[in-house]
Structure 1
Amino acid sequence: MTEEIIIAGFGGQGVLSMGKILAYSGIMQDQEVSWLPSYGPEMRGGTANVTVILSDERISSPYLKIVDTAIILNQQSMDKFEASVKPGGYLIYDPNGITHHPTRTDIQIFQIEGTKLAAEMGNKKIFNMVILGGFLKEKPVIKIENVIEGLKKSISERYHHLIPLNLEAITKGMKNIVPYKVVAVAMQP
């Protein structure tokens, strides 16, 4: 099993930390792992993405042109990465701020209202964990006990008291991801 993932959005949305948690979780599951971040010079508001590869075999290169799954958190990332999903692959996205929804019919598309759900839970910082939960519901490539270990490894020990909240957010995401149906637009004669 090899899962090639790109997570893309704005800086400050937890894109890189979501990738890091997936990577550490894969290590806890005795998988080969690659984590390759890419971001602009801005701390918040600029674009950021990370590719994560989880595999039972050695990984030859961390660089990906096409992916099994794209997790998209803003319009710029949708414009850039929708086409990079392999036919039959998955695209998971938060519709908040998305003006041009995905149009491909050869991939599986899911929506998760991560921004809204995190706000309802009273902590916008758990947005990325809501999204991660949605991903893990549709692609259970990591066992939840390994996600807990991944959280312990990727966040500072002084924040370990927030692990139960993060797990609650993951569960919320698992319960709230829904398929998205591409609507064909009729062409005018």
Structure 2
Amino acid sequence: MGYHGIIIAGFGGQGVMLMGQVLATAAVIEGKNTTWLPSYGPEMRGGTANCTVVIDEKPVTSPIIDHPTEVIAMNLPSMIKFGPRLKAGGILFVNSSVVDKKLERKDVEIIEIPANDIAEEIGLQKVANMVMLGAFIETTKVVRFESIEKALEEKLKGSKRMFLSVNLDAIRRGSDFVKNKYKVRT
């Protein structure tokens, strides 16, 4: 599996923090070493938000990432800010529903997912983050779907429990999109 230094970024309210928490929790469920570090812009809603998730077999020495192995960009400002920092050979996941520009790099893999469009098909715009998470999991295989499912169950408690199945559906749709459109690593 190796080291994964992931930056997940977008506008506040796009579920960036939840994506990171679910990913880190899934890694813990699998017995991997992980950190989750949130970072908020000036406003929580509508401002920029990002988090870093480090997952490794070895103990994690720092939650801070200078050159991520993967970046999930939910919007254009996030791609512009974090795309250039991506390590050569890394993977950029772009929400192509809202990002209409291309990152001009030939040394990284770029996976475009129309996350908002897929979420709209599902009937709940707020699950675009889970569509992206599904695409990320399918491509990187950093954690298993079953672990993501358990992590999501842990995060969606009480009144949020009713959103579990739609979130799991969104993850599956993101995974299916990548399987059908890109050659996924095995």
Residue of structure 1 in register with 2:34 after alignment: 33
One-letter code aligned to 2:92: L
1:155 matched residue in structure 2: 156
- Residue 127 of structure 2: SS of its match in structure 1? helix
Structure 1 residue 109 corresponds to structure 2 residue 110: yes
Deviation at 1:118, TM superposition (A): 0.3
Q: C-alpha displacement at 1:43, in angstroms?
A: 2.5
Q: How many Å separate the matches in 2 of 1:125 and 1:57? A: 34
Q: How much identity, in percent, do the aligned residues show?
A: 37
Match for residue 126 of structure 2?
Answer: 125
Q: In 1, distance between residues paired with 2:146 and 2:96?
A: 29
Displacement, 1:144?
A: 1.0
SS in 2 for 1:87: coil
SS across alignment from 2:111: strand
Highest Rg: 1 or 2?
1
SS in 2 for 1:86: coil
Secondary structure of 1:67's match?
coil
- Return 5+ residue gaps in structure 1 as ranges: 180-189
Deviates more, 1:147-156 or 1:77-86: 147-156
When the two structures are superposed, what TM-score results if normalisation uses the length of structure 1?
Answer: 0.90
**Partner SS state of residue 31, structure 2:** coil
Q: In the alignment, what sits opposite 1:45?
A: 46
Report the aligned-residue RMSD: 1.2
User: 1:11 is matched with which residue?
Assistant: 12
Amino acid at match of 1:31: K
The Cα of 1:100 is off from its aligned counterpart by: 2.4
Q: What is the Cα deviation at residue 96 of structure 1?
A: 2.5
Q: Deviations over 1:73-131 (max 9, x none)?
A: 11111111111111111001012232421111101110000000001110011111101
* Conserved 8 A contact 2:4-2:69: yes
Q: Would the aligned equivalents of 2:42 and 2:48 in 1 still touch at CA under 8 Å?
A: no
**AA matched with 2:161:** H
Rounded to whole Å, the distance in 1 between the matches of 2:158 and 2:57 is 29
SS of residue in 2 equivalent to 1:173 = helix
Query: For the Cα contact (< 8 Å) 2:97–2:113, is it kept in 1?
Result: no
Q: Say which SS state the counterpart of residue 5 (structure 2) adopts.
A: strand
* Structure 1 residues 112-154: Cα deviation after superposition (integer angstroms, max 9, x where no partner): 0000000111001111110100111111111111111111222
Aligned partners of 1:119 and 1:16: how far apart in 2?
Answer: 21
Distance (Å, rounded) in 2 between the aligned partners of 1:20 and 1:13: 14
Look up the SS of the partner of 2:54 in the other structure. strand
In the alignment, the residues of structure 2 paired with residue 148 and residue 99 of structure 1 have an alpha-carbon distance, to the nearest angstrom, of 31
Q: Is 2:98 aligned against 1:97?
A: yes
Q: Which amino acid aligns with 1:28?
A: I
1:141 is matched with: 142
Q: What SS is found at the alignment partner of 1:78?
A: helix
Q: What is the aligned partner in structure 2 of residue 184 from structure 1?
A: none
Gaps of 5+ in 2: none
User: If the length of structure 2 is used for normalisation, what is the TM-score?
Assistant: 0.92
